[in-house]
Amino acid sequence: MLIAPPAQDAADPEVVRLVTLARGGDRTAFGRLIEDHLPAARRVALAAVGQPSDADEAVQEASVAAWRRLDGLQDPAAFRGWFMRIVWRKALDRRRSLRSWFERFGGAAIDAGGTPLLEHATPDASPDVLLMSRQLETAIAQVIKGLPRRLRDPFLLAASGDHRYEEIATLLAIPIGTVKWRISEARRLTRIKLERMGHGAPR
Amino acid sequence: MIDAPRRELDGEIDRVAAKLVAVTENERLMQQVMMRLPDRTASPWLAAMPVQLAAAAALLLLAFLYARPAQVSEPPQLPQVAIVAPAVSPAASVIPSPALPRTQGRRDPVLRIQLASIERADHERSLAPVAPLPALELTSILPAALEPDAAIELAPLVLTDLPLAGDFIATLAETEMDPAVTVPGPFTISPREP
C-alpha cells in the first residue's frame, strides 16, 4: 500500500516556544507556526472542499481563529493537532455553505466528479501508454470524487501522507478501526467502479 | 493473495488520491493570513468580566433585598387581644359543641373569623383600655388617733353568687331562689372585757 502515514513528533520544543511567544502577542512567532504547518493544513482543507482556492480560504479563516483562541490551547506541544482540527472544521463549514449555494442556484455540485488536470507521472512513455494512463487517472479521480463523503474524507486525509490513523480518527471523531475500514472500503469501491468502467489493472 | 494487476491498480488509486490533495506553492497565502490577524488583545468580553460580575452581584443583592419580607417591629399583641377578647361569644367556651370537628390542620370558619378579627384589630375604633381599679385603699392611721374604748362598726356584708352562664340563670329563675345571701347588720364589736 502506498499510503503510509508518517509518524509525527508530538512534542517539539520549538513549537512549544513559538506557541508561548504567540500567546504573548508575538505575530512573528505565530507566523512561523502557521508557516510550518501550512502545507499540511492546505491538504487537510483540500481533502474537504476539493478546490485549492476554497481550501486556502478555509486555512486563512482557521489561522485567524487559532490566533484568537490560542489561550484555549492547554498543551502547547499539541498545537499541530489542535490547528488541524480547526482547519478541518472551517473546511467543513465551507463545504456545507458551498453545497447549499450550488443546490440553491444550480450548477455542478462540489462533490461531482470533475475532470482533474493531473500531470502524468511518466512523460517519456509512448503516446499510447500516455493516453491510456491519462484516461485511467481521469477515471480514478472521477470515481474518488464520487465516493460517499464518509469514505472519501478519511481516504483523502490518509492519501495526503500527513496524518496517522489516530489523527484522522480525531479529526473525524470516529474510532481508529472505523478509519481503517473506511479507507479500505473506499479503495475497494474505487477499484470495483473502475473495473465496471472497463479500467482493469494498468498495463 | 493479492495478484499483481490488482496491486498495481491500488497503487494507481493511491497515487491519484495523493494528487487530488496535493498543493502548489502559494506565496501570497502566508501574507494574506498575517494581514487578516487581528490585534490579539484580551477579548472585550473578558476585559469587561469584572464589571459584569460586579453588576450581577449588585442585581442579585437588590433582588434579595426586594424579595425579603419587611421586618417591622410591631407592638406587643397582648393588650389588643385583651380588648377584643370580650367580643368572643362566651357560649363557645362554656358550652362545648360535640359537633365541632377536630381542627387539626385547618381552622373552624367561626374561629378563623374571630382570630382574624383579633389579628386585624382596628386600634383606632376599638374601645379605650380600661384602667385597672385599685385593689385596696390603705389609709394610715396613727395608733394615737384611735379611741381605746370605741366600738368598731362593720357595714353589712352582702355575698352574691354571680351567674356564670345562661343555664345557671335559667335554673335560678325556675326555682325562684334568691342568689344573694344577706348577713344582717350592722354588727358591733366591743372590746373584750378583761
Question: Is A187's CB within 8 Å of B10's CB?
Answer: yes
Mean pLDDT confidence for B17-33: 88
Is A153 exposed, middle or buried (CB count within 10 Å of its CB: 0-12, 13-18, 19+)?
buried
Residue contacts between A and B (CB atoms, under 8 Å) = 121
Give residue-wise pLDDT tens across range A29-71.
999 999 999 999 999 999 999 889 999 999 999 999 999 999 8
Mean pLDDT confidence for B90-113: 52
Higher-confidence residue: B123 or B107?
B123
pLDDT of residue B82: 45
pLDDT of residue A30: 93
DSSP B145: G
pLDDT of residue B27: 80
Alpha carbon distances (Å) from A75 to A12, A13, A30, A33:
12, 12, 16, 15
pLDDT of residue A196: 87
Give the chain B residue whose CA is nearest to the CA of A47: B21
Residue A190 CA to residue A182 CA, distance in Å, equals 12
Higher-confidence residue: B94 or B186?
B186
| Predicted ipTM of the assembly | 0.78
Question: Is A145's CB within 8 Å of B15's CB?
Answer: no
Residues of chain A with pLDDT > 90, as a percent, come to 51
pLDDT of residue B121: 60
A146: Cα separation from own chain's centroid? 16
pLDDT at A101 over 90: no
Give residue-wise pLDDT tens across range A71-87.
888 888 899 999 999 99
Mutate which: B8, B14, B32, vs A, most A CBs within 10 A: B14
Residues 110-139 of A with CB under 8 A from B: 116, 118-119, 121, 136-137
pLDDT at B186 over 60: yes
Q: State the pLDDT confidence band at A199, using cuts at 50, 70 and 90.
A: confident
Higher-confidence residue: B4 or B165?
B4
A109: Cα separation from own chain's centroid? 18
pLDDT of residue B46: 63
Q: Where is average pLDDT lowest: A25-34, A185-194, B63-72?
A: B63-72
Helix (H) or strand (E) holding B187: strand B187-189
Mutate which: A60, A71, A83, vs B, most B CBs within 10 A: A60
pLDDT at B3 over 90: no
Highest mean pLDDT among A120-134, A144-158, B73-87: A144-158
- Positive or negative, the Cα torsion across B138, B142, B148, B149? negative
Residues of chain A contacting B34 with CB distance shorter than 8 Å: 27, 31
B187 phi/psi in degrees, rounded to 5: -100, 150
**What is chain B's mean pLDDT, rounded?**
68
Give residue-wise pLDDT tens across range B117-171.
555 666 666 666 677 666 666 677 787 777 777 777 777 777 776 666 555 555 5
pLDDT of residue B47: 63
Give the chain A residue whose CA is nearest to the CA of B33: A60
**Orientation of helix B4-20 relative to helix A149-159, angle to 10°:** 90
